[in-house]
Each structure stands twice: as structure tokens, then as C-alpha cells.
Amino acid sequence: MASHAARARFRSAHTTRNIALIVLGVIIVLVGVLIVGGLTFYKQAQTVKNHETQAISAISAISDSNVLNGDGISSEAVAQAQSHTAEAKRIAGNPLWKVAGVMPVVGNDVKTVRGMTEVLDDLTQQTLPAISSIAQKFDAAQLDDGNGNLNLKPIGDIQTDFATVSAQLKQQQNRYDSLPEPNIGMVRKAYQQGKERLGSIVDSVGHLNSAMQMMPAILGQNGARTYLIAVQTTSEQRSGGGLVGSLGTLHADQGTISVGDFHADTEFLNGGNGNSEELSVFNGPLPFSLDVRDTFAIPDLSRNAEMLTATWQRSPYASEVDGFIAIDPVFIQKMVEISGNVTLQDGTVLTGKNTAEYLLNTIYKDIPVAQQDAYFEYIAQTVMNQAFSRLNAAKMMTMARSIGGMIEQRHFYAYTTHAEETKYFQDAGISSREDTPQIGIYLNEQNPSKMGWYIKRKAEVSKTGINKDGSKTYHVRYTLTNTLTAAEKASVNNYILGGVQKGVENKPVAASGTSVQRMLFYAPAGGSIGKISSTGDVRDQREATMDGKQFTTNVAYLAPGKSVIFEFDVTTSPKATAELTIDQTPSGEERSDVDYRY
């Protein structure tokens, strides 16, 4: 009996040992498989990374500024990119990658890499060749109708192609942006490089598309059009630009274009256009009359159109208009760069490098006040005439590329009263859409002067979190600095420095050389702005409502060499899909200094 029990125990132990050996063997095999699979996956991941890096490098060789020139997209660069993205996509489609995509820790990064390969392959195989085709078609177009007028038909023929490619790029960008945020450093770096390059192409083509849809309409594609042209000077800031110095007209009908005479603002001081809310906001330290000069203190294009039209209809030049075009010295400089230098009556030559500074600063030093209006009118009319004369495909494309960026930075914008044309016209100004969140930060000079040239700005936008409801939070730091030096102050006149005109207290608003800015801060559509804190001399902070929108306003006093810093948190709408950006008063530089830290 005891012997039988011993044999049973021996068989049980033997069986247990065999099972343990089998399990151990299976584990060893599985570990081996995992090691081999892991090594294989690692090697493949390195290969994919190399292909994606080389593809992005090839795409980066395509200059944004020439992305839609006839020779702007190198067929060799496209072919290289296609080869690399196709191979990366093929490798990432391997079953091993599908398994890795569901593993803990690294799964999301694997999904992101697979998504990146698909989007970038779509970009190189489909979109870039389509862009190249459009560029070649447009480059071969005959835009001169033989009578010295512009032939708009070739532009109309490619408008649908432009819109299709732009929409396709935005879809690719949305797919890319919806990928999980990578955690692994190597993946995160590659993801960011691809994001930046794709975003750059999307922006370039999007700007071109807007311009190519808008410009033919301005030039009379759909019938005769007359637009007011408002010339602003950002050396005396108003929210949407600057003080309006002159008004003119542009008439176009099926490509036949004429630029009318420009007239100084003194010919249009025929009454104010502000409503009670607007007047209550701009009630000091310098109360705005909201006549033609203050039109763009209101950061709303539809209100600007109403105000300009009312002024025009009260003037001796009253006529029916179809909207307005607003330009500033930076836009004028860009047109000089494209169309050629302008020589003034005193021999001064304006170029694509010095025009903005001349119009914003130099003219006030060198030309007597009584002669300045004549100079401004001559420059505006000459430059606009040159811009719209001798338009060939290359010049038209150069203008289109420029106008997209000018709209984004508020140096140029247009408004039409024709509902069927509004889609691409009302593109400037703070976004009213919750999916593309923007804050508005606007400056309005309260010490009548030309101090805007000396006010430098720097903005920092840092992403701080994503909330449970899908909204995002950001921290914004906005700095204004008066860069006027003691030597400069001693060498210029009070027309530039201010400190003369009296405000609501029956005394000058501030000392000469001190810029006083009525600030407006708008929250993004469907979002909010937290309490605004400041360092420096900031006064009269309050909440206000104007034209149906709520905002915060205060007054910043900037003595020479001094700065003011504003800081606040922003929460977007839960519907926001894009990152937060800033819409702000344009400066004397082509692009405002904004550091986006996403």
C-alpha cells in the first residue's frame, strides 16, 4: 500500500515536472519569438524613420514662396519624396505593426507612425502632383487679352482646381492632427517635423486659393465693380490697422481696370459714424469722433464697410460702391517690390525695402506737413496703377502669394456687398468659428502722434492643457515696448512725438514721446479669457460690449524705453480643432512677432 502511494507520488511529480518543462519551453519559445519580433520591429521602425525623414527633407526642398510657380515644384524632389513615403507606408502596413499597435505603452506611438506614413504618402502621391499640374497650367496661361486688359478666363478655369487641392490638403492636415500625441522622443520629433512641413504647405496653398478666388471677383469677373480703397497708416494705430489717411477708388469690369484719384482724409471730415456703444468704449483719454480717420478702431469688417460707405456718400464724390479694399504701408511696399520702384518729386526712390519705413516714419521727418497729403496721394495712386498694369501669369501669381499673407497679417483686406462673393473676401479679422479659435488683441493710439513706428510687440502663446470636454487652455503673454531713444526724441518733431492735442481732461493725453494705447482683448468664439494681469503703467481696465461682442479694455501708457506686459489664460470652445492663434493690429513689419508653443 505504501509502495503504491509512493509510485503515485512519483508519477505525479514526474507529470508535474514534464508540464513545467513544457511550459518553460513554450515560454522560452515565446520569449524568443518576442525577441526576434521586437528586433525585427525595431529595425523596421528605424527604416521607416529614415524614409520619413528623407521624405520630409525632400518636401522641404520645395520652397513655400514658389510652391505654385511653373518651376516651383521640382519633379526630382517629388519623385524622391514619393519613393520614401511609399516604402515607409509599405513597411508600416506589415502585420507586425498591427500587433504592435495594440500593445501597452508603445501602441499609440505605433498608430501615430502608421498614420503619418499614410498621410504623407497621400500628400506626395496625389496632392503634390496636382499642385504641379495647376502651376504648369497657370504658367502657360495668356492673361493679356491683346488690348492691354486682363484676360480673366484662364484664372477662372483653374479656380476649381485650386479649391479642390486646398480642401484635400486641409483634410490631410486634419487626419494628421487627429493622430495620438506620441510619447517616444524619436517619434515625437519626426511627428513634429511632418506637422510643421504639412502645415506650411497647407497655409501656402490656402492663402493662394483665397487670393485666386478673390482677385478675379475684385477685377470684375462677375460684372462691373467699384471699390473704395482706404489707405491706413499704422504709425497711428487703430484696431484693424491705422488712421485712414486717404480714400480712392478702383473700378474693374471683366479685367479692364482703372484706379481713381485719391483724396486726403481732410476732404471726408463730414461727420462721425459711431454708435452709442462704440463711442462709450472710445471715450478717453482721447475721445474718438469715429469719423473716417477712426473707421478701423472698430475691429469688425461689416461695420467698417458701413462707416466708409456712409462717409463716401456724404462726400462730393458720392457714388455706388460694391465694397472696400484696405491697404497699409507694408502692403504698398510689397506692391512696389513686385511692380517696380517709385520715384518721388523730390528724387526719393521708394523700393521693396524702404517704402514702409518711409510712409510710417521718414516722410514725417523730411516733408513739411502741408505737403504730406500730396505725397501720400501720389504714392498710393502710382503704386496701385503699377500693381494692376501689365499683369502676366508670373506677376499675378506673385501678387496672389503675397496677398494671402497680407490678409493674415491685416495689411490688406477686402469686403464685398455681393453675397455670392463673400466666402473669400471676409477672410481678415478675428475668426468667428469655434473650430479655429483666435483671440483678438487690438491697439488704438490715444496720444495723437506717429509713435506706432517705435512700438514693438512680442507675443507668446503656450498650450497648458486639454480639458475633459475637449476644450484647450493656453497662457498668453503680450509685451509692448516703446523703443524711442533719447537721441531719436531730440531729433524729431512733435508731429511724430505727440503730447500736444488735449484729451477729456482738457490737457495733453501724455507727454511727447509717450504712446498711450486703448487696448481691446477679445476671447475666442465659444471660449473665454481669464483675468488679465499686467505689469507697467496700465489703467482703466473694464469689461465692455460693442457690436454684440464682449471684451476687456484698458489703457497702456508707454514712455520712451518702457514696456507693458499683459498675461492671461485662454480656454477655447470644446469644438476647437485647430490651435489657438492671435489676430492683432498690424505693425510696420510684414509679420508680427508671435511665438506659438504648442
Contact of 355 with 332, CB cutoff 8 Å: yes
Same domain, 490 and 444: yes
- Asked whether the CA dihedral 192, 197, 202, 203 is positive or negative, the reply is positive
Q: 3-state DSSP call for residue 63?
A: coil
Same domain, 147 and 233: no
Q: What DSSP string describes 443-511?
A: --B-S-SSGGGGEEEEEEEEEEEE-TTS-EEEEEEEEEEE---HHHHHHS-HHHH---SB-TTSSBSS-
Same domain, 53 and 103: yes
In a domain, 18, yes or no: no
Q: 3-state DSSP call for residue 372?
A: helix
Contact of 594 with 461, CB cutoff 8 Å: yes
Q: How many CB atoms lie within 10 A of CB 480?
A: 22
In a domain, 11, yes or no: no
In a domain, 17, yes or no: no
Same domain, 136 and 33: yes
User: In the listed set 176, 196, 218, which residue is the last one of a domain according to the structure?
Assistant: 218
Sequence-separated (6 or more) residues with CB below 8 Å from residue 28: none
Same domain, 131 and 214: yes
| Rg value, the chain, Cα | 30
Task: Write down the mean pLDDT value for the chain.
Answer: 88
Give the model confidence (pLDDT) of 7-25 as tens digits. Answer: 555 455 455 444 444 443 3
Euclidean distance between CA atoms 439 and 582, whole angstroms: 5
Q: How many CB atoms lie within 10 A of CB 16?
A: 10
Q: 3-state DSSP call for residue 319?
A: coil
In a domain, 9, yes or no: no
What residue has cell string 507694408? 330
Domain residues for the domain of 174 are 29-218
Written as nine digits, the cell of 231 is 489707405
Same domain, 194 and 240: no
Same domain, 373 and 504: no
The CATH number of residue 459's host domain is 2.60.40
What CA–CA distances, in Å, run from 208 to 147, 211, 246, 398?
A: 27, 5, 28, 10
The CATH number of residue 289's host domain is 3.40.630
| Overall domain count for the chain | 3
Written as nine digits, the cell of 522 is 477679445
Same domain, 128 and 191: yes
User: In the listed set 425, 454, 470, which residue is the last one of a domain according to the structure?
Assistant: 425
Contact of 449 with 496, CB cutoff 8 Å: yes
Q: What is the pLDDT along the chain (598 residues), one digit of tens a residue?
A: 555 555 555 455 455 444 444 443 333 333 333 344 445 656 766 777 777 777 777 776 555 555 666 555 677 778 888 888 898 888 888 777 777 677 776 778 888 888 888 998 999 999 988 888 888 888 787 887 777 778 888 888 889 998 999 999 999 999 998 898 888 887 788 888 888 888 888 888 888 888 888 889 999 999 999 999 999 999 999 999 999 999 999 999 998 999 999 999 999 999 999 999 999 999 999 999 999 999 999 999 999 999 999 999 999 999 999 999 999 999 999 999 999 999 999 999 999 999 999 999 999 999 999 999 999 999 999 999 999 888 787 888 889 888 888 998 999 989 999 988 888 776 556 778 899 999 999 999 999 999 999 999 999 999 999 999 999 999 999 999 999 999 999 999 999 999 999 999 999 999 999 999 999 999 999 999 999 999 999 999 999 999 999 999 999 999 999 999 999 999 999 999 889 999 999 999 999 999 999 8
Q: How many CB atoms lie within 10 A of CB 432?
A: 12
In a domain, 5, yes or no: no
Residue 137's Cβ-count burial label (10 Å; 0-12, 13-18, 19+) is middle
Same domain, 132 and 176: yes
Contact of 293 with 265, CB cutoff 8 Å: yes
In a domain, 13, yes or no: no
Same domain, 353 and 443: no
Contact of 176 with 116, CB cutoff 8 Å: yes
Euclidean distance between CA atoms 157 and 354, whole angstroms: 37
Same domain, 461 and 369: no
User: In the listed set 161, 191, 218, which residue is the last one of a domain according to the structure?
Assistant: 218
Q: How many CB atoms lie within 10 A of CB 34?
A: 11
In a domain, 548, yes or no: yes
Euclidean distance between CA atoms 110 and 103, whole angstroms: 9
The overall longest dimension of the chain from CA atoms, in Å, is 129
Same domain, 45 and 78: yes
With residue 97 as reference, give the H or E element that holds it: helix 95-100
In a domain, 16, yes or no: no
Contact of 79 with 59, CB cutoff 8 Å: no
Rounded (5°) CA angle 238-244-250 = 130
Q: What is the pLDDT of residue 523?
A: 98
Written as nine digits, the cell of 365 is 521727418
Contact of 147 with 255, CB cutoff 8 Å: no
Give the model confidence (pLDDT) of 425-451 as tens digits. Answer: 765 567 788 999 999 999 999 999 999
Residue/partner pairs of 104-112 with CB below 8 Å, 24 or more apart: 105/183, 106/184, 108/180, 108/181, 108/182, 108/183, 109/180, 109/182, 109/183, 109/184, 109/187, 111/179, 111/180, 112/179, 112/180, 112/181, 112/182, 112/187, 112/191
